[in-house]
Amino acid sequence: MDLIRRLLFGALHLPWAAARLTGRGPFGPDAARPAAHGGTTAPSALKAALWRHHVRQFNEAACSVATVASVVNAIREVQGHSGSPLDQDQILRRVPTVHWRQRMQPGGHKGRRGLPLPLLGRVVRDSLDLLEVRYRIVDTVAAGKPVGAPARRFRSTLRGRLRRFETRGDALVIAHFDQGALLPVLNIPHISPVGGFDAATEAVTILDVDRDQPLPYQVPMAAFHRSLSSRYHHLFRPFGYDRGGYVYIRLP
Protein backbone atom coordinates (compact mmCIF):
# COMPACT_ATOMS: atom_id res chain seq x y z
CA MET A 1 0.00 0.00 0.00
CA ASP A 2 2.82 2.45 0.84
CA LEU A 3 4.43 1.77 -2.54
CA ILE A 4 1.13 2.39 -4.34
CA ARG A 5 0.68 5.63 -2.41
CA ARG A 6 4.17 6.84 -3.33
CA LEU A 7 3.60 6.02 -6.99
CA LEU A 8 0.25 7.78 -6.94
CA PHE A 9 1.56 10.97 -5.40
CA GLY A 10 4.53 10.94 -7.77
CA ALA A 11 2.18 10.71 -10.74
CA LEU A 12 -0.04 13.48 -9.36
CA HIS A 13 2.85 15.92 -9.23
CA LEU A 14 3.13 15.90 -13.04
CA PRO A 15 -0.22 17.64 -13.83
CA TRP A 16 0.35 20.01 -10.89
CA ALA A 17 3.72 21.02 -12.29
CA ALA A 18 2.29 21.41 -15.81
CA ALA A 19 -0.54 23.66 -14.57
CA ARG A 20 1.91 25.81 -12.65
CA LEU A 21 4.26 26.11 -15.62
CA THR A 22 1.49 27.10 -18.05
CA GLY A 23 -0.57 29.26 -15.69
CA ARG A 24 -3.72 27.16 -16.02
CA GLY A 25 -6.40 26.17 -13.54
CA PRO A 26 -5.63 27.29 -9.98
CA PHE A 27 -2.55 29.16 -11.26
CA GLY A 28 -4.60 31.18 -13.77
CA PRO A 29 -7.30 33.85 -13.75
CA ASP A 30 -9.89 31.46 -12.22
CA ALA A 31 -7.79 30.92 -9.09
CA ALA A 32 -9.71 30.66 -5.83
CA ARG A 33 -10.05 33.79 -3.67
CA PRO A 34 -10.43 33.71 0.12
CA ALA A 35 -14.01 34.27 1.28
CA ALA A 36 -14.65 35.66 4.73
CA HIS A 37 -18.40 35.08 4.37
CA GLY A 38 -20.80 33.31 2.03
CA GLY A 39 -21.53 36.17 -0.33
CA THR A 40 -24.80 37.55 1.09
CA THR A 41 -25.43 40.15 3.76
CA ALA A 42 -28.49 38.36 5.20
CA PRO A 43 -27.88 34.58 5.11
CA SER A 44 -30.69 32.14 5.77
CA ALA A 45 -30.85 30.37 9.12
CA LEU A 46 -29.60 27.17 7.45
CA LYS A 47 -26.65 28.86 5.79
CA ALA A 48 -25.68 30.68 8.98
CA ALA A 49 -25.86 27.38 10.88
CA LEU A 50 -23.70 25.66 8.25
CA TRP A 51 -20.96 28.24 8.71
CA ARG A 52 -21.18 27.92 12.51
CA HIS A 53 -20.89 24.13 12.38
CA HIS A 54 -18.09 24.03 9.81
CA VAL A 55 -15.39 21.62 11.05
CA ARG A 56 -12.11 20.30 9.65
CA GLN A 57 -11.30 16.71 8.75
CA PHE A 58 -9.32 14.73 11.33
CA ASN A 59 -7.05 13.01 8.78
CA GLU A 60 -6.36 13.17 5.05
CA ALA A 61 -9.09 10.62 4.20
CA ALA A 62 -11.87 12.01 6.39
CA CYS A 63 -13.26 14.89 4.31
CA SER A 64 -16.59 13.04 4.04
CA VAL A 65 -16.92 12.81 7.83
CA ALA A 66 -16.21 16.51 8.43
CA THR A 67 -18.63 17.41 5.64
CA VAL A 68 -21.44 15.25 7.00
CA ALA A 69 -20.82 16.58 10.52
CA SER A 70 -21.05 20.17 9.28
CA VAL A 71 -24.22 19.51 7.30
CA VAL A 72 -26.03 17.31 9.83
CA ASN A 73 -25.35 19.64 12.75
CA ALA A 74 -26.52 22.65 10.74
CA ILE A 75 -29.80 20.93 9.81
CA ARG A 76 -30.33 19.62 13.35
CA GLU A 77 -29.95 23.17 14.67
CA VAL A 78 -32.54 24.68 12.34
CA GLN A 79 -34.90 21.73 12.96
CA GLY A 80 -34.79 22.36 16.71
CA HIS A 81 -32.82 19.36 17.96
CA SER A 82 -31.62 19.78 21.53
CA GLY A 83 -28.23 18.85 22.90
CA SER A 84 -24.67 19.45 21.80
CA PRO A 85 -23.55 19.08 18.17
CA LEU A 86 -22.47 15.59 17.17
CA ASP A 87 -18.73 15.16 16.77
CA GLN A 88 -17.15 13.20 13.94
CA ASP A 89 -16.42 10.14 16.05
CA GLN A 90 -20.03 9.96 17.25
CA ILE A 91 -21.26 10.09 13.66
CA LEU A 92 -18.91 7.34 12.51
CA ARG A 93 -20.03 5.11 15.38
CA ARG A 94 -23.69 5.57 14.54
CA VAL A 95 -23.49 5.26 10.74
CA PRO A 96 -21.94 1.90 9.69
CA THR A 97 -22.81 2.27 5.98
CA VAL A 98 -20.16 1.00 3.48
CA HIS A 99 -17.65 0.41 6.32
CA TRP A 100 -17.35 4.17 6.60
CA ARG A 101 -15.32 4.15 9.83
CA GLN A 102 -12.83 1.61 8.47
CA ARG A 103 -12.41 3.62 5.25
CA MET A 104 -11.18 6.56 7.31
CA GLN A 105 -8.35 4.56 8.91
CA PRO A 106 -4.78 4.40 7.53
CA GLY A 107 -5.26 0.91 6.08
CA GLY A 108 -8.79 1.57 4.84
CA HIS A 109 -11.36 -1.16 4.27
CA LYS A 110 -9.67 -3.83 2.16
CA GLY A 111 -7.19 -1.18 1.08
CA ARG A 112 -9.84 1.36 0.05
CA ARG A 113 -9.95 4.79 1.69
CA GLY A 114 -12.32 7.71 1.40
CA LEU A 115 -15.67 7.67 -0.39
CA PRO A 116 -16.31 7.74 -4.15
CA LEU A 117 -19.42 9.71 -5.12
CA PRO A 118 -21.95 6.81 -5.12
CA LEU A 119 -20.87 5.76 -1.63
CA LEU A 120 -20.97 9.36 -0.43
CA GLY A 121 -24.61 9.56 -1.51
CA ARG A 122 -25.46 6.43 0.47
CA VAL A 123 -23.62 7.68 3.54
CA VAL A 124 -25.36 11.06 3.42
CA ARG A 125 -28.82 9.48 3.16
CA ASP A 126 -28.17 6.98 5.95
CA SER A 127 -26.65 9.69 8.17
CA LEU A 128 -29.79 11.78 7.85
CA ASP A 129 -31.97 8.77 8.62
CA LEU A 130 -29.95 7.42 11.54
CA LEU A 131 -29.33 10.84 13.09
CA GLU A 132 -33.05 11.73 12.89
CA VAL A 133 -32.81 14.58 10.41
CA ARG A 134 -35.93 15.31 8.37
CA TYR A 135 -35.43 15.70 4.63
CA ARG A 136 -37.44 15.58 1.44
CA ILE A 137 -34.87 14.57 -1.20
CA VAL A 138 -31.32 13.26 -1.33
CA ASP A 139 -30.12 13.26 -4.93
CA THR A 140 -26.64 12.04 -5.90
CA VAL A 141 -25.67 13.52 -9.26
CA ALA A 142 -22.62 12.32 -11.15
CA ALA A 143 -20.92 14.77 -13.49
CA GLY A 144 -20.11 13.79 -17.05
CA LYS A 145 -17.80 15.40 -19.57
CA PRO A 146 -17.81 19.20 -19.16
CA VAL A 147 -18.93 19.87 -22.76
CA GLY A 148 -22.06 19.32 -24.85
CA ALA A 149 -25.79 19.33 -24.14
CA PRO A 150 -25.63 16.98 -21.08
CA ALA A 151 -23.06 19.28 -19.47
CA ARG A 152 -25.26 22.32 -20.09
CA ARG A 153 -28.24 20.55 -18.46
CA PHE A 154 -26.07 19.48 -15.52
CA ARG A 155 -24.87 23.04 -15.01
CA SER A 156 -28.34 24.53 -15.34
CA THR A 157 -29.79 22.18 -12.72
CA LEU A 158 -26.84 22.76 -10.41
CA ARG A 159 -27.17 26.53 -10.78
CA GLY A 160 -30.84 26.34 -9.79
CA ARG A 161 -30.03 24.23 -6.74
CA LEU A 162 -27.25 26.56 -5.63
CA ARG A 163 -29.63 29.50 -5.98
CA ARG A 164 -32.24 27.67 -3.89
CA PHE A 165 -29.68 27.06 -1.13
CA GLU A 166 -28.73 30.73 -1.18
CA THR A 167 -32.17 32.30 -1.39
CA ARG A 168 -34.65 29.87 0.21
CA GLY A 169 -32.52 28.18 2.83
CA ASP A 170 -34.16 24.78 2.44
CA ALA A 171 -31.44 22.93 0.52
CA LEU A 172 -27.74 22.06 0.68
CA VAL A 173 -25.13 21.00 -1.87
CA ILE A 174 -22.18 18.74 -1.04
CA ALA A 175 -19.45 18.81 -3.68
CA HIS A 176 -17.32 15.79 -4.67
CA PHE A 177 -14.59 17.52 -6.66
CA ASP A 178 -11.02 17.61 -7.90
CA GLN A 179 -9.40 19.86 -5.31
CA GLY A 180 -6.41 20.53 -7.54
CA ALA A 181 -8.70 22.04 -10.19
CA LEU A 182 -9.48 24.91 -7.77
CA LEU A 183 -6.41 25.21 -5.53
CA PRO A 184 -2.64 24.93 -6.10
CA VAL A 185 -2.57 21.43 -4.60
CA LEU A 186 -2.49 17.91 -6.03
CA ASN A 187 -5.41 16.73 -8.18
CA ILE A 188 -7.12 14.46 -5.68
CA PRO A 189 -10.80 13.64 -4.99
CA HIS A 190 -12.17 15.82 -2.22
CA ILE A 191 -15.50 16.48 -0.49
CA SER A 192 -16.80 19.69 1.09
CA PRO A 193 -20.11 21.55 1.44
CA VAL A 194 -20.95 24.57 -0.67
CA GLY A 195 -21.15 27.60 1.61
CA GLY A 196 -22.57 30.23 -0.70
CA PHE A 197 -23.61 31.26 -4.20
CA ASP A 198 -23.67 34.77 -5.64
CA ALA A 199 -26.22 34.67 -8.46
CA ALA A 200 -25.06 38.04 -9.83
CA THR A 201 -21.42 37.02 -10.31
CA GLU A 202 -21.92 33.22 -10.28
CA ALA A 203 -19.24 32.89 -7.63
CA VAL A 204 -19.43 29.65 -5.62
CA THR A 205 -18.12 29.58 -2.06
CA ILE A 206 -16.54 26.31 -0.92
CA LEU A 207 -16.64 25.70 2.81
CA ASP A 208 -13.57 23.49 2.57
CA VAL A 209 -13.02 20.99 5.38
CA ASP A 210 -9.32 20.57 4.50
CA ARG A 211 -7.15 21.36 7.54
CA ASP A 212 -4.61 23.07 5.26
CA GLN A 213 -7.12 25.65 3.96
CA PRO A 214 -7.28 28.52 6.45
CA LEU A 215 -10.40 30.13 4.96
CA PRO A 216 -13.34 29.21 2.75
CA TYR A 217 -12.83 30.38 -0.83
CA GLN A 218 -14.77 31.54 -3.86
CA VAL A 219 -14.39 30.27 -7.42
CA PRO A 220 -16.24 31.06 -10.67
CA MET A 221 -19.14 28.77 -11.55
CA ALA A 222 -17.27 27.56 -14.65
CA ALA A 223 -14.27 26.51 -12.55
CA PHE A 224 -16.54 24.80 -10.02
CA HIS A 225 -18.22 22.85 -12.81
CA ARG A 226 -14.83 21.77 -14.16
CA SER A 227 -13.75 20.59 -10.72
CA LEU A 228 -16.86 18.38 -10.46
CA SER A 229 -16.53 16.95 -13.96
CA SER A 230 -12.76 16.54 -13.99
CA ARG A 231 -11.88 12.89 -14.43
CA TYR A 232 -9.75 11.69 -11.57
CA HIS A 233 -6.32 10.22 -12.32
CA HIS A 234 -6.58 6.68 -13.67
CA LEU A 235 -4.67 5.35 -10.66
CA PHE A 236 -7.72 6.21 -8.52
CA ARG A 237 -10.14 4.21 -10.67
CA PRO A 238 -9.43 0.75 -9.21
CA PHE A 239 -10.59 2.25 -5.90
CA GLY A 240 -13.94 3.38 -7.32
CA TYR A 241 -13.15 6.98 -8.28
CA ASP A 242 -13.99 8.18 -11.80
CA ARG A 243 -15.48 11.68 -11.90
CA GLY A 244 -17.00 13.81 -9.19
CA GLY A 245 -20.42 15.38 -8.88
CA TYR A 246 -22.55 16.46 -5.96
CA VAL A 247 -25.12 15.36 -3.39
CA TYR A 248 -28.20 17.58 -3.15
CA ILE A 249 -30.26 17.65 0.03
CA ARG A 250 -33.72 19.24 -0.04
CA LEU A 251 -35.39 19.82 3.30
CA PRO A 252 -39.14 19.79 4.05
- Rounded distance, CA 33 to CA 182, Å? 10
Range in 10-24, 169-183, 201-215, 219-233 with the lowest mean pLDDT: 10-24
**Between residues 28 and 250, the one the model is more confident about:** 250
Fold of the CATH domain 2-17+35-250 = Cathepsin B; Chain A (3.90.70)
Please say whether the beta carbons of 46 and 172 come within 8 A: yes
Has residue 19 got a pLDDT over 60? no
pLDDT higher than threshold 70 for residue 100: yes
pTM for the complete prediction?
Answer: 0.91
Tell me which of 1-15, 17-31, 123-137, 160-174 is least confident.
Answer: 1-15
53: left (phi over 0), alpha (psi -120 to 50) or beta: alpha
Q: What is the rounded average pLDDT of the residues 23-37?
A: 75
